[in-house]
Amino acid sequence: MTVVHSPLQYNGSNVFVDLRATLGIPLLLKCEGFNFARSIKLKAATAMVDDAEASGMLRENATLVESSSGNLGVALSMIAANRGYRFICVTDIRCTRSSIRMMEALGAEVRVISEPAVDGGLLGARIAHVRELCSAGPHVVWLNQYANPNNWRAHYRTTGPEILAAVPEVEVVFVGAGTTGTLMGCARYLRDAGGGAKIVAVDAEGSVTFGFPSRSRMIPGLGTGVRPAQLDESFVDDVVIVDERETVTACRDLAARGFLFGGSTGTVVSGARRWLAENRPGADVEAVAIAPDLGESYLDSVYDDDWVGDLLASQAKPAGVQY
């Protein structure tokens, strides 16, 4: 029996789904959504808050502020409620209604940005609003997940070692790229541990993280409109770009087998499936992909036929054009 006294004390991150049986690909999916915050972001959120408290930056009666597309905001809402802080999450119109409602249920104030910045899009506008909030005084604390080293250190201490402990001979690891905290933490740990595992980053089409052109995106989570400060491409062996239609297809393929995962997970699975087919066709590879989230927040989007119809219409490819 597991007994906890805080929502931070439980994180079932050692669950793996073997996709050989479900999708016919040699891939172990590391599920990171079995905690009270519903996603892998609980690890980074906890590490950043712990460090801010230890350094004296975060004190009693402080107000936390952060820019988030959803999952980190939920995790910080939970931590703030548990530790007695006020929390303001700055998100944008792509954030799912479910995530907004969960943050509000946990006592957070949610501010939704609808107008993109000329430089940086919706993310740039979110960060600008966070900076405005910080001008209120030293009691307002911005953890800054995009540049905070405790973001990637959390995964260096936890996610990377968990992968290697479960699959000692792992050959390739697929990691979604958002803030790149998970990517950098796992990549650094696996590089330091030796063994030669290949690190493949999976990003959303329209994201500028790896130098590709910006384009509007509807699914929150992976991808950025501003290159993450903590990204070091020397730790990345390959990059796969996934468009949102592929994300929807992967999510629904998994749901057809009873696994309801989130949009970020669908993107990672889609990228891994394509990379393995192109680079290791027919091989029985020791491969792991990180599933950042579960799917209940996406019932009104990825799993809604009308929403998907709008997505397909908005992102239809002109005749003769291939991505």
Separation of alpha carbons 288 and 259, rounded Å:
17
> Is a pLDDT exceeding 50 seen at residue 321?
no
Q: Nearest Cα to 46, choosing from 159, 188, 140? A: 159
Separation of alpha carbons 53 and 99, rounded Å:
26
- Tokens at residue 177, please? 């790229």
> Is a pLDDT exceeding 90 seen at residue 200?
yes
Confidence of residue 318 (pLDDT cuts 50, 70, 90): very low
> Is a pLDDT exceeding 80 seen at residue 55?
yes
Residue with tokens 């004390």: 9
Are the CB atoms for 117 and 130 separated by under 8 Å? no
Give percent of the chain above pLDDT 90.
82
pTM: 0.93
Separation of alpha carbons 33 and 10, rounded Å:
11
Q: Nearest Cα to 30, choosing from 284, 265, 188? A: 265
Separation of alpha carbons 246 and 178, rounded Å:
17
Are the CB atoms for 39 and 294 separated by under 8 Å? yes
Confidence of residue 139 (pLDDT cuts 50, 70, 90): very high
> Is a pLDDT exceeding 50 seen at residue 319?
no
Separation of alpha carbons 295 and 33, rounded Å:
9
pLDDT one-digit tens code per residue, 61-117 = 999 999 998 999 999 999 999 999 999 999 999 898 999 999 999 999 999 999 999
pLDDT one-digit tens code per residue, 145-181 = 999 999 999 999 999 999 999 999 999 999 999 999 9
> Is a pLDDT exceeding 70 seen at residue 320?
no
Between 30 and 322, the more confident residue is 30
- DSSP secondary structure string, 3-58? --SSGGG-B---EEEEHHHHTSSS-EEEE---BTTSBTHHHHHHHHHHHHHHTTSS
CATH 3.90.1010.10, domain 7-34+149-309, yes or no: no
Rounded to 5°, the CA angle 170-175-177 comes to 160
Q: Mean pLDDT in the chain?
A: 93
Are the CB atoms for 252 and 260 separated by under 8 Å? no
Residue with tokens 């600008």: 128
| CATH class assigned to 41-142 | alpha beta
For the chain, residues classed under CATH 3.40.50.1100 are 7-34+149-309, 41-142
CA distances from 266 to 23, 43, 149, 203, 226 (A): 12, 20, 27, 11, 22
pLDDT one-digit tens code per residue, 204-239 = 999 999 999 888 888 887 888 889 999 999 999 999
> Is a pLDDT exceeding 70 seen at residue 316?
no
* CA 51 and chain centroid, separation: 21
Predicted pLDDT of residue 317: 53
